Chain A
Amino acid sequence: MTLAKPAFAEDGTVSVPAFKLPPSSFSSPEAQAAQARRALVPGGAPPIDMPIEAIRQGLEQMLAPQVEAMRKVYPVNITEDEIAGIPVRVITPAARTELPGKILLNLHGGAFTMCADACALLESVPIAALGGYRIVTVDYRMAPEAQHPAALEDIEAVYRKLLETYAPQSMAIYGCSAGGALTAQMAVWLPMRGLPQPAAVGIFGAGGVRFMHGDSAYIAGYVDGSFPPPPLPGESASDMTRGYFHGFDMDDPVISPALHPEVIAKFPPTLLITGTRAMDMTPAIITNSALLKAGVSSTLIVGEAMGHCFIYAPEIPESLDAHQAIVDFFGKHVK
């Protein structure tokens, strides 16, 4: 059978013909099996008019077994608390000694609108258990109830309070998806507010530029299918953040620091994690390039055939490898 070839238009657009993409031969058997099980998942999107509370509750229920699976692999203790009036969870290792004098701040994913419980735990549990870290995961304000920079203000309040106990070189900030984007924003926000940078930041499933632009938006929409493809000419873009950034310039240095060399030059050592089928691959690549160009130490890990926030899956070796890489990175920089 002869496959159709791509056609190139004068404006640089590539017309990609339909094609079949097999599982990567470099993927683990577990990842290949997970990919095969996607045939069982119904496509399309549920109705948009669903109330945010119903969406939040449904997502938490859907992810609860995954959190349980993660906790079986990685034993931890979890307590609920408040720091500077902001609700937080504190995750500590249950099967090994906690590292003294060090603390990590986790900013959970969830499109700036949801997943304050499950995503927070899926991101914190493996790193606390594997690395021996005390992790504070921040339940920051989200949309539609709040708007930018509400989340940054909440995280700053927690960070300020922790600075009374911990040296900045003993702290790191990290998160996945919206939490990864907020991590990048915090690396701009903290010096703006006269606060010291932490020892390192981990930006996972995100970058220092807005989501859903560049090549990987198309990978996500048409090859991976986890996110809607970019709008066609004449269509309006969908807003998964439910107005969190409404009215703000998405090229603003706080929101998209990778577009501003003088801003991103102030970043601490950075670890970025993305996947070849992830919508965040472009933001991660752009950010890594900008960091290196600005002379900042940056490491980019790209998971072969991995999608958005693949670190949430404890059954996939690629995910476990990423957990170890995160722990190794923080172990190198957090003193």
Chain B
Amino acid sequence: MRLKLGIARIVALALATSAPSLYAADKPTGPTFGADGTVHVPAFDFPASELSSPEARAANLK
């Protein structure tokens, strides 16, 4: 049953409809999905978490 697939994905997609366009042309695109369930993750920049402590962020730089 198709609607049984990833309900959270459906909800999330629907919730995201209230957001401005997700993927600008100069922005990395989101992931794509293979028929075997593999996620093809694009290259992206992952900044240090703003919620981690300054000490943890500094330690990650070493």
Contact = CB atoms under 8 A, between A and B. Distances in A.
A59 interface: yes
B9 A12 contact: no
Contact of B14 (A40, A55, A282): A55
B46 A36 contact: no
Contact of B8 (A13, A36, A213, A313): A313
Nearest to A23: B37
A113 to B, nearest CB: 6
Contacts of B50: 213-214
Given A39-B33, A46-B17, A48-B19, A218 B46 contact: yes
Interface residues of B, number: 53
Given A23-B36, A213-B50, A226-B13, A14 B2 contact: no
Interface residues of A, number: 84
A227 B5 contact: no
A45 B36 contact: no
Interface string B1-42: 111111111111111111111111011101111111111111
B12 A227 contact: yes
A44 interface: yes
Which one of B1, B28, B47, B48 has the greatest number of beta carbons of chain A within 10 Å?
B47
Given A10-B61, A213-B50, A313-B8, A18 B43 contact: yes
Contacts of B38: 20-23
B17 A55 contact: yes
Given A113-B18, A282-B49, A32 B37 contact: yes
Interface in A239-298: 239-242, 278-279, 282, 286
Main secondary structure of the interface of A (DSSP, over half): loop
A43 B38 CA distance: 15
A37 interface: yes
A286 B51 contact: yes
Nearest to A42: B13
B21 A45 contact: yes
A225 B11 contact: no
B19 A239 contact: yes
Contacts of B57: 12
Contact of A19 (B22, B36, B41, B48): B41
Contacts of B40: 18, 20
Interface in A168-192: 177
A14 B45 contact: yes
A73 to B, nearest CB: 12
A321 B22 CA distance: 33
Contacts of B20: 48, 238
A18 B18 CA distance: 28
A37 B8 contact: no
B17 A45 contact: yes
A20 B41 contact: yes
B48 A226 contact: no
A213 B45 contact: no
B60 to A, nearest CB: 6
B4 A232 contact: no
Contact of A21 (B18, B22, B39): B39
Contact of A229 (B5, B44, B60): B44
Nearest to A37: B5
Interface of B: 1-24, 26-28, 30-52, 57, 60-61
- Which A-B residue pairs are the 4 nearest by beta carbons? A12-B48, A226-B12, A37-B5, A238-B19
